[in-house]
Amino acid sequence: MTVTRLLLLGPPGSGKGTQAEILARRLGIPQIATGDMLRAAVDAGSAVGRQAQGFMDRGELVPDDVVIGVAEARLMEPDAVKGFILDGFPRTPAQAEALDAMLERLRVSLECCLALHVDEEELVARLLRRAQIEGRSDDNEQTIRTRMQVYREKTQPLVDYYDRRGVLREVEGDGDIGEVASRIEEALRR
C-alpha cells in the first residue's frame, strides 16, 4: 500500500524540507511547508506575513492560530485530495489537535509520521553552513539556538503524540541526502 498522507517531523536543519521535496516528487503529491508559505507571505507583505515576521526573525514559533489558518487553507486546495506531505506543521500539540480536526472534517486520516533524528551539534553546524549559502535571516547562531530549544520544548512532544497513535516511523537523519532518502523509503515499506 502506498502511503499518501504523511508528515515529516524533525528539528531545524535535519533535512526534512529536502526529504519532503524528494518524497513529494516520488509520490506525486504536494509538499505543504508552512515555513515556505510564511516566508512567501512575509515577502508579499500580506497580513499573515506582517503577523509572522517578528517571530520568524527571532527563531520563535508563529502563533498557533495564524499557522493553523495557513495550513488549513492549503489542505483544502484541490491538489491535496490525492495526498500530502506536511513539512514543518504541526509544531505544537495545539497544532496537532487542530490538524486532527481538519482531517476529520475531510474524512481522511494521517497514515504516517516520519521522525528524523540528528545529533544537535551536527544540526547547528549544518544550519550555520546553510546560513552562509542561502542568507536566510533566521539562520544566525542566536536564532539557531533558539529554534533548537523551541523544537525540544514544543515540537519534540509530538513524537510521543504520533507514537501513541501508532503511526510513528523513526529514521536516522545522519549522512548524505541519498542515504537518508533510502532510509525513508525503507521506513515506508515497513
Q: Catalytic pick from 58, 136, 154, 169?
A: 136
Range 13-52, binding ligand AMP (CB under 6 A): 34-35, 38
Question: What distance lies between CA 42 and its chain's CA centroid?
Answer: 18
107: closest CA among 75, 69, 79? 75
Is residue 74 annotated as a catalytic residue, yes or no? Answer: no
Backbone angles phi, psi at 121, to 5 degrees: -65, -35
**Binding of ligand AMP by 115 (CB under 6 A):** no
C-alpha–C-alpha distance, residues 28 and 82, integer Å: 9
- From the list 22-30, 43-51, 77-85, 87-95, the region that binds ligand AMP by CB under 6 A is 87-95
Q: Catalytic pick from 126, 130, 145, 169?
A: 130
- Checking DSSP bridges between strand 84-87 and strand 112-117, what pairing results, if any? unpaired
The residue from 4, 21, 55, 163 that contacts ligand AMP (CB under 6 A) is 55
The site that binds ligand AMP (CB under 6 A) totals a number of residues, namely 18
C-alpha–C-alpha distance, residues 190 and 178, integer Å: 19
C-alpha–C-alpha distance, residues 94 and 97, integer Å: 5
Nearest residue (CB) to ligand AMP, 154 versus 169: 154
**Binding of ligand AMP by 67 (CB under 6 A):** yes
Q: Helix crossing, 93-105 with 157-164: angle to 10°?
A: 40
**Binding of ligand AMP by 62 (CB under 6 A):** yes
| Sites of contact with ligand AMP (CB under 6 A) | 12, 34-35, 38, 55-56, 59-62, 67, 88-91, 95, 138, 147
- Residues with catalytic roles: 16, 91, 130, 136, 147
